[in-house]
Chains A and B, each alone.
Chain A
């Protein structure tokens, strides 16, 4: 197995295990206050408590799963939307393709963060809405790549031959298109996982994501809004851990994506 790939996966796995311990076996709740407020780290509270007395380690553990859920769910939605639209545009051609290309260009030229903020403001701030909105604004990149690839494959002689024998779209898709498009779809969707996590964290940092879902962005937001944060040492265990977790997760996902991309392209050569 690839050594680099293994390292990144191992780091993510370690984070997963720590977070699983924090949300399943750790004695403190991530939502209810469970101790005196603003405790420094101790044996009882590994990373201390926040201003309401909620355990910070429990919150960060829960935040990992929130981030993971947001990232993976968004990537799946974007993969489905971008994949099917890209396939449709590339395969059908003509007016459909023109329309889909226009949609792709439209969504690619929108300024992402402001659009997501505005859509979130009007649709309401539940975590499901946030996922749908981020997915709605990240499918275009996937669709663009899939469309180009489909167009390119469509002209292959073996596909034309199969079509002339009367093969339908689903047969062609299952037998020929899928194997060529899937690696591309996978790489681009993996890239969406990290972007979605970052966008949710940005929204939560602004206080515009789901106020009930414990996410890293929300912890950062609360810590930054605590007025004495600059004059005390609280930031060491209240602010740095979520920032650090976010950076490490984003790095791992990015490097993982790049490594898989390398492997796929190497196998294609």
Chain B
């Protein structure tokens, strides 16, 4: 009896660890595929940056001579075999060197370092606000059928409006009508901020509408997850038992139901990073907010391939890591 039980646990553990390894293998393979896609895509395309540049910059319409081209190729290491190029790229990337941006005349790492904080700020505040809002809405309608169906319906409607259209609507119906809300940017240009408080207020004022638009778009996702999870927990035996004991309703609600319903919502948080990154890139372009989304758009407009690759690699890595986290949380849940 004991041995069979032990066998069961062992096989369960083995299965679990196998599943875990499989997940890391998939993660690594996905990362490798993205990395190789990023490396090979521009190299497999017809033409190269030099022929493109000469035609687009407008200063030099004659194109480059054959010797110039060869010299440039050698300078950028594009004359070497692909495998050597790949190894060199990996070596450089490991040292956080992502190459030189043609558009900004700076290293890609520097450009990203300057812009990333703004994007992260928008993304994180959006995710946190939508999580809280979704959870509060779901909690508030837990015992109230009428309110529940009302919120459920309006959330289903809201979920379908894309965030950048919401941004445009807010921009024209709110920001253009009100004096104290700016139309674009992250800070008042050419303004010397007298104190830290003033600076912070300025940042908040500029980011209010972008965060609002994204939050409105993302809240339904969190609301649906929270609602399902709360309803699921509410029917558990221990909640019934707590009610039978005559515990305070507030304690049951927050300690017994809400705390136990949290893990899927946290997993949702990490899953939403993928949706949120796309939404942020669009909303930044609606409000001319100088984050990575505007960098990516400008990079594509001006064919700055190196910058495109850098931004893409970063955003893909962030999304991959986030989905790995949510996987780990979900797996942890299944164990119980």
Contact = CB atoms under 8 A, between A and B. Distances in A.
A121 B26 contact: no
B296 A117 contact: yes
B126 interface: no
A122 interface: yes
A94 B159 CA distance: 39
Interface of A: 102, 105-106, 109-115, 117-123, 198, 201-202, 205-208, 220, 224, 230, 235, 239-240, 243, 246-247, 250-251, 254
Interface in B254-288: 274, 277-278, 281-282, 285-286
Given A198-B162, A250-B160, A251-B160, A111 B278 contact: yes
B164 A113 contact: no
B296 A109 contact: no
B301 A250 contact: no
B116 interface: no
B55 to A, nearest CB: 14
A114 B277 contact: yes
B16 interface: no
Interface string B25-51: 010011001100010011001000000
B17 to A, nearest CB: 19
B252 interface: no
Contact of A202 (B172, B282, B319): B282
Interface residues of B, number: 42
B183 interface: yes
A37 to B, nearest CB: 21
B101 to A, nearest CB: 14
Most interface-central of A102, A114, A198 (chain B CB within 10 A):
A114
B164 A109 contact: no
A197 B176 CA distance: 28
A114 B29 contact: no
Nearest to B183: A230
Interface stretch (B185-193, B243-251, B308-316): B308-316
Given A102-B29, A207-B297, A224-B286, 9 more contacts: A105-B26, A105-B30, A112-B278, A117-B281, A117-B296, A121-B303, A202-B162, A208-B297, A208-B300
Interface of B: 26, 29-30, 33-34, 38, 41-42, 45, 160-162, 164-165, 168-169, 172, 176, 183, 274, 277-278, 281-282, 285-286, 296-297, 299-301, 303, 305, 308-309, 311-312, 315-316, 319-320, 323
Contacts of A254: 160
25 contacts: A105-B26, A106-B30, A109-B30, A109-B274, A109-B319, A110-B316, A110-B319, A111-B274, A111-B278, A113-B281, A114-B311, A117-B300, A118-B38, A121-B303, A121-B308, A201-B162, A206-B300, A207-B297, A207-B301, A208-B301, A230-B172, A230-B176, A240-B172, A247-B165, A250-B160
Nearest to B286: A224
A205 B312 contact: no
B319 A111 contact: yes
A258 to B, nearest CB: 9
B328 to A, nearest CB: 14
B30 A114 contact: no
Contacts of B286: 224
B165 A246 contact: yes
Contacts of A113: 277-278, 281-282
Contacts of B301: 207-208
A120 B33 CA distance: 18
Interface centre among A121, A208, A235 (most CB of B within 10 A): A121
Contacts of A114: 277-278, 281, 296, 311-312, 315-316
Contacts of A115: 312, 316
Nearest to A258: B156
A106 B168 contact: no
A206 B169 contact: no
A206 B297 contact: yes
A247 to B, nearest CB: 6
B168 A243 contact: yes
Contact of B308 (A102, A118, A230, A247): A118
B99 to A, nearest CB: 15
A117 B305 CA distance: 12
A110 B34 contact: yes
B43 to A, nearest CB: 10
Contacts of A246: 162, 165
A230 B45 CA distance: 41
B282 A247 contact: no
B285 A206 contact: yes
Contacts of A110: 30, 34, 316, 319
Contacts of B26: 102, 105
Given A109-B319, A114-B315, A220 B168 contact: yes
Contacts of B309: 118
Nearest to A235: B172
A191 B60 CA distance: 48
B278 A224 contact: no
Contacts of A120: 300
A206 B165 CA distance: 12
Nearest to A114: B315
Contacts of B319: 109-111
Contact of B282 (A205, A230, A251): A205
A123 B45 contact: yes
Contacts of A220: 168
A160 to B, nearest CB: 28
